[in-house]
Structure 1
Amino acid sequence: VDSVNKPGILLEVVQVLSDLDLIITKAYISSDGGWFMDVFHVIDQQGKKITDGKTIDYIEKALGPKGHITAGAKTWPSKQVGVHSVGDHTAIELIGRDRPGLLSEISAVLANLRFNVAAAEVWTHNRRIACVLYVNDDTTCRAVGDQTRLSLMEEQLKNILRGCDDEDSEKVARTSFSMGFTHVDRRLHQMFFADRDYEGGGVTTADQVDHTPSFKPEITVERLEDKGYSVVNVKCRDRAKLMFDIVCTLTDMQYVVFHAAISSDGPHASQEYYIRHMDGCILDTEGEKERVIKCLEAAIRRRVSE
C-alpha cells in the first residue's frame, strides 16, 4: 500500500483487511515523512493465500485511489456504529458489570417495548460487558423516531445495568444512542478504555508467561534515544485481528506509528512498533509506559473469546 501519509491511515488499512477476516502473518510499516508505504502478507481463515478474484478486486478498490482510505472516509461501511450506519436501525451502546442472564434481561426489555434486535456486537472483559445493539421497530422494521419510546427504552436498560453495579465500585453502568460513524470494533475498544477496564489486572512484564493455551501477552516499552522513538514490543498468541486491536488502541491513546514489523511463528505473534505521541514526544515516564502496557494487554485480551 503506497499513499500520501495522513493521521490514522494505518488503522484504516488494517481495518479493511480485518473486516475481510484476513490474517496478517507479516507486515512492514513505514510512514515517517509525507509518504505511507506498507507491505502486508495475508492469508484467509483456512491458512491459504487469497486467490478469489472478487476479494482481490475488493481490496484493490478499497485501498486504491477511489477507495475508502484515500477518499478520506473515517470508517468502513459494513462495520459502522450509528443511526445511519446500517440502514433503518438505531445503534444503542451499553456498558456495565457482567453477570449471568444479563443479555436475556436486555432482550426481554426490548421485546416488551416492541423493538427488534437486528444485530449485536458483545464483548466482555474483567467482569465488564460492552455491547452495541442495532434495533428497529418490530412491526415496520424501520428505525424508531419516537423520542418518548426511545427514552423509555434507555431508562429501562439503565435500570437493568444499574442493578448490576457494585455499590463500592467507581465504575457506573451507561447506556446511550450512538450518533457517530465509528467502526464498531473500535467503538467497543473505546467504550472499555473509557471504562478503565485495563485497571483490572497487573502490569505485564517480559518474564511473566502464563502457560495456558492463550498465554499472557509479553509487552515492553523502550526508548530509542538516537532516533527519537519509543519502541513497543508485543509477544502473544497469534490470532485474527490482533494487529487491528493493537493499532486501534495506540491510535486512540494519541500515539502515531511511524515504523512497525509484524511476524508470526506458528501460534505465536511478534509485533514491534516505533511510536511517538501526537505532540512529537516519546514516552518519558514509567507511568506512561505502564499505562500503555496495561491498555495493550487489555485490548489483546478483550477479543480472546472470539
Structure 2
Amino acid sequence: MRDEISRLLVSRMNIIYPPYVDPQFQTLFERIHSPRVCIDNDTCRDCTLVKVDSANKHGLLLEMVQVLTDLDLVISKSYVSSDGGWLMDVFHVTDQLGRKLTDEGLIRFIQQAVEARREEDAKEVRTCLGRIVGAKLPAQYTVFEMTGTDRPGLLSEISAVLKDMNCNVVSAHLWTHNARMACIAFVTDCTTSKPITDLERLDLLRDQLCNVLRINNGCRDERRAVRAMVLSRLTHAERRLHQMMFEDKDYEGVGGADDRKKQDGVGTTVSIDHCQERSYSVVTVLSRDRPKLLFDTVVTLTDMKYVVFHAAISSKGSLAIQEYFVRHMDGCTLNTESEKRRVVKCLEAAIERRNTQGLRLDVRTYDRIGLLTDITRVFRENGLMVTRAEVSTSGDSVSDTFFVTDSSGNDIDYETIDRIRQEIGNVEVITSCNLVKRSNSTANGNGQERPSFFSIGNLLWSQLERFSGNFGSIKS
C-alpha cells in the first residue's frame, strides 16, 4: 500500500500543468487593434479605395469581401498583405454603374459592418441594384438545410411539403452543381409567424423532406441530408451553401467546367506552385470574370483552413486572374499531391457552382402564403428545371430570382416564357437571357479592360513599403 501511494505521488510530481491564460487577455491585442476602415475617394480618379488596417485575424479578409459583395459593389482590384501579425487590405471599388461610393449611408454601413468597436449595429441600406441589405427578418425562424440529388421539380416538391405543413417560407436559396442540390429555407409558422419549435412537428417535417429527396430508382449510392434548427439571427446563406456542397463532396462530380469551357471559350484553371523564398504555396486561379468571383474563392480557402498572407486580384478583358500566397493554419504548405488535387477540385467547384446556365426570371409581387409553391408548380408543369433560386421577402413584397432550363438543360423558347407569365398570374416577371457580365471581383464597372495582371511573387516585396504608405491616417 505504501509503495502504491509513493508511485502516485511521484507520477503527480511529474505532471506539468500549463500556465493559465485568461481568454480575455488572449484577444486583448485584437481588441486594442480592431479593424479600421478608411474610404478614400481622392487617390484614384475612377474608383473608391476601401482600406482595411487591423491586427491579423483568420477570416477577416473573407468578412471584408463578404460585406462588399453583399452590397452589389464591383471590386476591380485587390491587394492583400498580412505578414507579421498585421493585416492591410486595399480594394478598388465602384458600384455597378462604375461610380465612386459617395452615399454616406453606404459608407457608414461598410465601416460599421467591419469595425469591431461600434456604438450601434449597422442599419439597412439600399444597394445600387435596389436590393435592401441589413433588413431585419423575424426575430427568430426555423431553418431547414437540405442536400441531395438534383432532378426536375425538386424545388416545387420541397415548397409543397412546407406549405402542407403550414410553414411560411420567408427566404430560400437553392444551388445545383454536378447533379447535386443544396437548399436553405428560412420558415415560420403560418398561424403565429413564429419559429417552429415543436419537436414532433420538426421530426415529421424532416421525414417528409427526406422522402422528397429520395431518389425514385432506389440507388444505393444516394446521399441526402435534412437538418433543422431554430436561429435568432440570419446566417450568411451563400457561405452556408458553399459549406453544404463542400460537405456533400459535389467537387467529386464531373462535367461542369469542361462543358462551359467548350461553350464560352474560357474555363476555370487552378494551379499550385511553391514559393521557395518565403515558404508559401502559390495558388493561381484563371477563370471567366463574373459577379462574386472573389467571394467564392476566398470563402473556399478560408473554410478549408488556409490563411491568405498575400494576394493580388485583377483582370484582363473577360479573364479574371487571382494569385494567393497561402499556408495551412498549422503553418504547413501544400506539400502532397493529393492535397493539391483536393484544393484544385474544391476551388474549381466553388467557382462553377455560381456559373449557372439557363434563363433568368425575376418575379416581383406581393407576398402571400404558398406563393413559392404556386410559382414552382408552374415551372414543373411546363417541364422546367430550376438550377438556382433566391427567394426573399421584405415587408409585404417578394423578390424572387430563378434560373431555369428545360429538363435536358437546354434553353427554353419564347412561347414557354409567355405561357409562364400567363399562368403565374398578376405578378411582374422580368426575363434575362444573359447573365450580368460585370464582376464583383475584377471587372471594370464601365466595361473597359483593366490593366494587365502582374505577378505578386515578383513585385510584392519591392512594392510593400510604398503600398503600406498609401494607407495614411485611418480614423476609427
Q: TM-score range by the shorter chain?
A: 0.7 to 0.9
Correspondence for 1:103:
155
Q: Is 1:139 aligned with 2:188? A: no
Q: Is 1:239 aligned with 2:272? A: no
Aligned counterparts of 2:179 and 2:134: Cα–Cα separation in 1: 25
Q: How does 1:246-257 map to 2 (within 5 A)?
A: 246-257=297-308
Correspondence for 1:37:
88
Amino acid in structure 1 at the alignment position of 2:146: L
Q: How does 1:1-306 map to 2 (within 5 A)?
A: 1-67=52-118, 87-163=139-215, 167-169=219-221, 171-178=222-229, 182-201=235-254, 210-213=261-264, 215-305=266-356
| RMSD after superposition | 2.6
Amino acid in structure 1 at the alignment position of 2:152: P
Aligned counterparts of 2:218 and 2:84: Cα–Cα separation in 1: 49
Aligned counterparts of 2:83 and 2:204: Cα–Cα separation in 1: 50
Amino acid in structure 2 at the alignment position of 1:50: L
Unaligned runs of 5+ in 1: 69-77
Please say which structure displays the higher CA radius of gyration.
2
CA 1:122–1:57 in 2, change beyond 3 Å: closer, same or farther? same
* Cα distance per residue 1:233-281 (max 9 Å; x no partner): 0111111211111111011111110000001233221100000011111
CA contact (8 A) 2:149 2:215 kept: no
Identity %: 52
- Quote how far apart the aligned CAs of 1:87 are: 2.3
CA 1:166–1:188 in 2, change beyond 3 Å: closer, same or farther? farther
Aligned counterparts of 1:219 and 1:203: Cα–Cα separation in 2: 15
Aligned counterparts of 2:99 and 2:317: Cα–Cα separation in 1: 14
Aligned counterparts of 2:321 and 2:217: Cα–Cα separation in 1: 37
- Quote how far apart the aligned CAs of 1:150 are: 1.2
CA contact (8 A) 1:255 1:278 kept: yes
Corresponding residue pairs, total: 291
Amino acid in structure 2 at the alignment position of 1:95: T
| TM-score (norm: length of structure 2) | 0.57
Q: Matched residue of 2:298: which SS?
A: helix
CA contact (8 A) 1:215 1:237 kept: yes
CA contact (8 A) 1:259 1:274 kept: yes
Aligned counterparts of 2:200 and 2:96: Cα–Cα separation in 1: 45
- Quote how far apart the aligned CAs of 1:213 are: 2.9
CA contact (8 A) 1:257 1:273 kept: yes
CA 1:230–1:79 in 2, change beyond 3 Å: closer, same or farther? farther
CA 1:164–1:275 in 2, change beyond 3 Å: closer, same or farther? farther
| TM-score (norm: length of structure 1) | 0.88
